[in-house]
Amino acid sequence: MQLTLNIDGGSRGNPGPAGAGVVVRDDRGRALFEGGFFLGEMTNNAAEYNGLLHGLRIAAGWPDADLVIISDSELMVRQVTGEYRVRSPDLAPLFEQAQRQLLRRGQWQIRHVRREHNIRADDLANRAMDAGADVIITDARPPAGATNATRSTPTADKARPPVQTARSRDTAAGGNGRR
């Protein structure tokens, strides 16, 4: 099986309130996961990496699937493929986390696309920023510990809770993270 992982991240202001959007589709184009994650305050590039990290955590629910990652962040894609060095000290730890997750993944590829070819992930990132909270639309991840031999077709009834997101201080204290 092949999974397509569309990811996006953005911030309003740079830095500013940020969100990430993640869409996971199977090889028939069915959405297995669609969600936006509110990230608190960070830069646009950090939000792009957080989108990748959230997407990789979600895609881990299908460990045997080949993974095609789609992003409209040319910087992140070229850093992940080794074409660009990571010079920002703020991005280096995010890059290292992504590299560790990708090494565990096995078979994967990453592609850069123009923004108009990543609209759904962009929309989900914006929804999370608007809400100041995570927004999960579809979550059909298999139950933890399922294998291909025992895994049935995932359904929304078997949904797991969303991946936990790092929050800004304001949000963690009960505020909405907006200023």
Say if 120 falls within a structural domain: yes
Cα–Cα distance, 91 to 166 (Å, whole number): 15
**Predicted confidence (pLDDT) at residue 36 exceeds the cutoff of 80:** yes
pTM of the model: 0.81
Say if 179 falls within a structural domain: no
**Predicted confidence (pLDDT) at residue 23 exceeds the cutoff of 60:** yes
Say if 178 falls within a structural domain: no
- Give me the CATH number covering residue 96: 3.30.420.10
pLDDT for the residue numbered 145: 63
Say if 45 falls within a structural domain: yes
The mean pLDDT value for 127-154 works out to 75
The mean pLDDT value for 8-34 works out to 97
Residue 76: give the domain boundaries. Answer: 2-172
Say if 129 falls within a structural domain: yes
Contact 162, 135 (CB under 8 A): no
Say if 80 falls within a structural domain: yes
The pLDDT tens digits of the residues spanning 149-179 come to 333 333 333 333 333 333 332 333 333 333 3
Say if 50 falls within a structural domain: yes
Contact 105, 58 (CB under 8 A): no
- Number of domains comprising the chain: 1
**Predicted confidence (pLDDT) at residue 102 exceeds the cutoff of 80:** yes
